[in-house]
Structure 1
Amino acid sequence: MSQSILRRFSTRAFPIILVCFLILTGCSPQNTLRGVFKKQTPYEKYQSGLKDAKLDQTALGQQWVAAGEKALQAPVKISLPFKETGYFPAEKPMAAGYQFTVKRGQKVAVKVQTQGKETPQVFVDLFETDPDNLGAPKHVANADTVSSQLEYEIEEEQPHILRVQPELLRSGEYTVTIETAPVLAFPVQGKDSRAVQSFWGQDRDGGSRRHEGIDIFAPRNTPVVASVQGFVTRVNTTPLGGKVVWLSDTKRRQSLYYAHLDSQLVNVGDQVQVGDTLGLLGNTGNAKTTAPHLHFGIYQFGQGAVDPYPYVHKDREKPAALEVDTRRFNAWTRVAKSTSTLRAAPSGTAAALATLARHTPLQVLAGSSSWYRVLLPDGRQGYMAASLVESLEKPLRTLKLKRQAPLLDASEATAAAKRTLPADSSVRVLAMAGDFLLVKEAAGVVGWISTDAAE
């Protein structure tokens, strides 16, 4: 199948392409239409289209499927907020996988931007992992293929994986941004989580009980507002809470508890919207000896109290700006200094994956802050500080081959040969990886040769 046909294959032209292949391949309407009435993600629809068009039997189709699976099985472990820019080459199917953990009560917000001569359609999918079955992540959300954005409320505090993968045979630069946000609005007007001075779990009454909420301090009579759309279930006065209001959040099967109010401005049964005033802040109940504040709690149906802080805390930290040279994306580079560390994440404190010798070749996949995400010849991935990476513009040395040798497209003996280099021909050595050298021959073609050929 020609590359021109493959390039025209995309989900944007999916109906037309599928009809063409139905005629050409003799596929039955039943086979072609399978899954039409089954809800599928854009990724699954595209993959089904590849299969119906027999493109899954091509080398590129198989590489595309394998790249998507690898992104789920071996994702990069990151902390949020996170931002990375990289490049998807048309000639080599690739996918990016990112693993992170977000607290319950937060939502993850993902945005993927692309640019290029022919901007690729990008599939953005979020998965939840099961600690007892890491080999089968559960799909929980996907981005709209037009906007490439998604928001998802975390239901369980366990690792999640984001997979970003473009369609076949479209190249382009991409930027993925992953941030968190609270699922509830802050309950005190004009304030944010910096006003919290007493947290969940702290001792109360000499250690006889624990604090089942957070205390938010503000001037007396500051409006206390609805953090969610819901209805008022209780308005009363208690010895501990003083003047209190209970608000039902049926969407999340929980109740919000507002205590120590100076006054209550709603009635049982009232329907409220986010930001509506429920009462005015005070220090009634057992808070009469303290400064005015709101005690805010969350009680989940059938489970009891949970820490409300993640539900209202907005992280003000922004992802670090990109500081690396984007011209190196999709290019081979090499380690510039001896004993450089390959790390699991773009941080000097991240786990060390390997110690690399000077002149080890690295293919740059992407960049985050002052770090490159790189691919080693043996398939390992990790992050390398940009200061430890250099270009291949200046050869390490020039050598003559002792005998005829194949110029390989990968650093392994079974790799395909780009051409055969004659004995006594000169090559410039660009990098070294085990028993192979990355070289450039006289015509400018770059490839790999065995060190045996140079002896």
Structure 2
Amino acid sequence: MLKKILYTLLLLAIISCNQIQKATDAITQPSAREVYARGFEKDDSIYNSWNSAFAKAYQKKVLPKDQNVLSGLPYTTVGTYSSNNLIPYRYTFTLAAGEIFHAEVENNVDSTAIFLDLFTWENDSIINPTPRLSNAPNERKFTTKITASGLYTLLIQPEIGTNSSFTLKIYTTPQYGFPVSGKDNKAIQSFWGASRSGGKRSHEGVDIFAARGTPVVAITDGMVSSTGNRGLGGKQLWLRDGIFGQSLYYAHLDSIIATTGKRVKIGDTLGLVGNTGNARTTPPHLHFGIYNRTGAINPYPYIKQTEMPTILDSLSSNLGVLKNNGTMRLSPTSTSERVGTLKRRDTVLLLEKTGNWFHIRTHDSLQGYLYKTAIKPVPFT
């Protein structure tokens, strides 16, 4: 009887602890990595080695030219996880304020836990020690608005003991839509920073060319804070994004349709493309700008249209033999820095394949990229 009572009390204590933990997690929202760590003791050697490999990957302080910096996004790849390899996959790239960043991982084993951590850089040589963003438990993707332009690093690491393949997409989308109806990036013919007035000033926006009378539209829900016909912008309209948000500037309009104080939704017509103000000698176009508390900011990343990337690559082997001497590079481009030269018949581990490049690791743990024609894949081991 006493044993039964003790068992019941223990069970109630466990249930109570679980409920408290769930309540706490609902408030603190721990990352997948933090939840995973709860399953290990502090002196667990395997976990400590796994965690140490993660720490070393983001604590590595090197200049961008000395590491794998992607030439641009989107980036897609297929790769393999190996239980013998604790080192996270590391991707470094630049992001601009106005973009929405996306990272998505898919595994061929659905039950495998994957940990994604996005880090920012304080400057070209120091990475912040705390992730800006980490994935939630049971999630294999995340997305975040970018508010500061700069260098970012994404680390991807599977749970301990994983042997499987994966696919990865890293890409961006704009925070806003496109301000001229029926047009896209190709219609932009003058960009931020271009010289104006013989070099006396610079362009504080982008010019989007379209036929006179083409609708210009709201690219966010907001309120029309001002309209008028004045100054360099001619017929113009200001749209406020939220109470304390940014102001979107539409200038050189042929006519203004929305009125001051009007609340609008995404897609509502605000006016029509024209060439009023100081644009009267140019073809019709919309001058579009964005202003925040500090002044004008580059609007292009906020409206640049992007396509959802698709993964076309496949990786049928995790081991390769060089067919000829090959140059290993830091990034999957022929212009990136050389890491070293490998010899014919050298054996390498194939970590990933992205486009025409293999991401490889040599027997002495040197990593880099080799062009696909230099390698002959061999069957999985």
**8 Å contact kept, 2:35–2:137:** no
Cα displacement (A) at 1:390: 3.1
Alpha-carbon shift at residue 195 of structure 1 (Å):
0.7
Structure 2 residue aligned with 1:99, among 70, 92, 96? 92
Q: Which residue of 2 aligns with 1:82?
A: 75
Q: Which residue of 2 aligns with 1:223?
A: 215
- Structure 1 segment 236-247 matched on structure 2, within 5 A: 236-247=228-239
Bigger radius of gyration among the two: 1
1:328 and 2:320 are equivalent in the alignment:
no
TM-aligned CA distance change 1:191 to 1:144, over 3 Å:
farther
Q: How does 1:23-422 map to 2 (within 5 A)?
A: 38-47=28-37, 49-50=38-39, 53-54=40-41, 56-73=42-59, 76-78=68-70, 79-90=72-83, 92-116=85-109, 119-131=111-123, 134-250=126-242, 253-301=245-293, 303-316=294-307, 318=309, 321-322=312-313, 326-329=315-318, 331=319, 333-338=320-325, 340-391=326-377
Deviation at residue 100 of structure 1 after TM alignment:
0.5
In 1, Cα distance between equivalents of 2:105 and 2:243: 28
Preserved CA contact (<8 Å) 1:90 1:170: yes
Query: 1:389-408 CA deviation, whole Å, 9 max, x = no partner?
Result: 23568xxxxxxxxxxxxxxx
Residue identity in the other structure for 1:190: G
CA distance in 2, matches of 1:123, 1:174: 13
CA contact (8 A) 1:373 1:383 kept: yes
Q: Percent of pairs identical after alignment?
A: 34
One-letter amino acid of the counterpart of residue 191, structure 1: K
Unaligned runs of 5+ in 1: 1-18, 24-28, 394-445, 447-455
User: Closer, same or farther in 2 for the Cα pair 1:137/1:375, shift >3 Å?
Assistant: same
Letter in 1 for 2:121: T
Deviations 1:170-205 (A, max 9, x none): 332111111122211110111112111222223333
Q: What are the superposed Cα offsets for residues 351-381 of structure 1, whole Å, 9 maximum, x if unpaired?
A: 1111223333311212111222111222221
SS of match in other structure, 2:52:
helix
- Cα deviation, residue 321, structure 1: 3.2
Report the 3-state secondary structure (helix = DSSP H, G, I; strand = E; otherwise coil) of the residue aligned with 1:275.
coil
Q: 1:385 to 1:73 in 2, by over 3 A?
A: farther
The C-alpha deviation readout for 1:142-168, integer Å capped at 9, x for no partner, is 334445222222222211111112222
Note the C-alpha offset of 1:311.
Answer: 1.7
CA contact (8 A) 2:119 2:128 kept: no
Ranked by relative contact order (alpha carbons within 8 Å, sequence separation 6 or more), the top structure is 2
C-alpha displacement of 1:262:
1.7
Give the 3-state SS of the residue equivalent to 1:77 in structure 2: coil
RMSD: 3.0
TM-score, scaled to structure 2: 0.84
| CA distance, structure 1, for counterparts of residue 191 and residue 324 of structure 2 | 47
- CA deviation after TM superposition for structure 1 residue 234, in Å: 0.6
Contact 1:129 1:138 in 2 (8 A): no
Q: Which runs of 5+ in 2 are unaligned?
A: 1-9, 61-66
The one-letter code sitting in structure 1 at the alignment partner of 2:335 is T
The answer (yes or no) to whether the contact 1:88–1:94 under 8 Å persists in 2 is: no
**Is the CA contact 1:129–1:137 (under 8 Å) kept in the aligned structure 2?**
no
| 1:38–1:92 Cα change, 3 Å | same
Matched to 2:263, the amino acid is Q
Counterpart secondary structure, 1:134: coil
Report the Cα distance in structure 1 between the residues aligned to 2:328 and 2:243, rounded to whole angstroms: 44
CA distance in structure 2 between the partners assigned to 1:383 and 1:307 by the alignment: 34
- SS in structure 1 at match of 2:104: strand
Secondary structure of 2:150's partner? coil
Moved more, 141-150 or 280-289: 141-150
Question: How many residue pairs end up in the alignment?
Answer: 358
Counterpart code for 1:85: V
C-alpha contact (below 8 Å) 1:128/1:139 kept by paired residues:
yes
Distance 1:391 1:194 in 2: 40
